[in-house]
Amino acid sequence: MAIPIKEITVRHPCFSSGIPNNKGRIHLPVSPGCNIECQFCDRQINTTEQRPGVTAQIITPQQAVEIVRKSVAIIPEIEVIGIAGPGDTLVTPYALETFRLIDKEFPDLIKCMSTNGLLLADRADEVIGAGISTITVTVNDVYPKTLPNICGRVRYQDNIYEGEEAAALLISKQIAGIRRVSQAGIIVKVNTVFVPKINSNHIEEIAKTVKRAGASLYNIIPLIPVFPQQKKLQSDIPAVSCTEIDNARSRAEKYIQVFRHCHHCRADAIGVPGGKDYGEQIYQKRIANENTFSHG
């Protein structure tokens, strides 16, 4: 459902401009599996890590509706129902099914979806029809030559693509998807994981490209330098400093409005980002185990 951007900025915690608006969101972890391979991705089932790609459990769309009922009853700040994984939201049907169920019962809550964008253009009609108002697309580079250092492989329509071919396909699908949904009135934010020496000098080009395609907001997230999986990235990637991120944000801001309050949320976070997290209380059985999702 199209909601004016002015209203989104005061009701959505991840689209606020300037100071945080102290509104809350519920993340519903209904989407396992992914169709691309980011070199830094580390999806985990656990109760302890505070970062994207982590959830205590995967729930069904029906369980998700129950979670929303419970949450809105005790957390008045909730304005947004988000689905941010732990995998990609368009690989399996569960995210869109969940949004359709939630939209019927809670038409006034903002529905927010996060995706890598590979299937966004292809499934745009379904996305628009599911009552979604805001979408985040993670675009880590706009150069097919360098993107394979961050995302090496893409699965699309039962074919596997690698290297520059995979990168070119992903970038073109992301841009087409952003264009298509923003033309339908969905407000688009783009996230970029800032990887020193790989995409750090491409931030302005990414900002310009996604703005031209219709994105309204840009969020630059520093690579979290702790995952063993990052060994797949070049081993000499330095940690990102605050100054580097500040500089990148200032460079991007010449082209697009920049969001600065990201809290790197879990896929099952509940509450005001950066405030008390109700995930444990609401989901109740956050079960710790060692399972890791497999890619694809």
Q: For residue 54, what are the CA distances in angstroms to 41, 192, 286?
A: 10, 18, 11
Contact status: 100 vs ligand CLF (CB under 6 A): no
Residue number with CB closer to ligand SF4 (164 or 253): 164
Q: Which tokens is 96 given?
A: 């869109």
Interface residues with ligand SF4 (CB under 6 A)? 34, 36-38, 41, 43, 53, 85, 87-88, 116
| Residue with token string 């330098």 | 225
Strand partners, 162: 153
- From the list ligand SF4, ligand CLF, none, pick the one residue 38 interacts with, judged by a Cβ distance below 5 to 8 Å according to partner type: ligand SF4
- Residue 255 CA to residue 171 CA, distance in Å, equals 19
**Binding residues for ligand CLF restricted to 217-246, rule: CB under 6 A:** 219
Cβ proximity to ligand SF4, 85 vs 222, nearer residue: 85
* In the complex, minimum distance from the CB of residue 237 to ligand CLF, in angstroms, rounded to a whole number: 21
Reported residue count of the chain is: 296
Sign of the four-CA dihedral 205, 208, 172, 17: positive
Decide: 179 and 215 in contact? Cβ < 8 Å. Answer: no
Considering only 8, 112, 139, 258, the residue that binds ligand CLF (CB under 6 A) is: 112
Contact 238, 278 (CB under 8 A): no
* Bridge partners for 138 per DSSP: 191
Q: Which does 266 bind (CB under 5 to 8 A by kind): ligand CLF, ligand SF4, none?
A: none
Residue indicated by tokens 């976070």: 269
Q: Which stretch binds ligand CLF (CB under 6 A): 79-87, 117-125, 242-250, 285-293?
A: 79-87
Which range binds ligand CLF by CB under 6 A, 117-125, 201-209, 244-252, 257-265? 257-265
Counting contacts by CB under 6 A, is residue 84 touching ligand CLF? yes
If binding is defined by CB under 6 A, does position 138 make contact with ligand CLF?
Answer: no
87 binds, among ligand CLF, ligand SF4, none (CB under 5 to 8 A by kind): ligand SF4
Closest CA to 112 of 85, 87, 137, 136: 136
Residues that bind ligand CLF (rule: CB under 6 A) add up to a total of 16
Cis peptide before 273, with omega less than 30 degrees from 0?
Answer: no
The residues that touch ligand CLF, with contacts defined as CB under 6 A, are 14, 25, 27, 52, 80, 82, 84, 112, 114, 136, 219, 262-265, 273
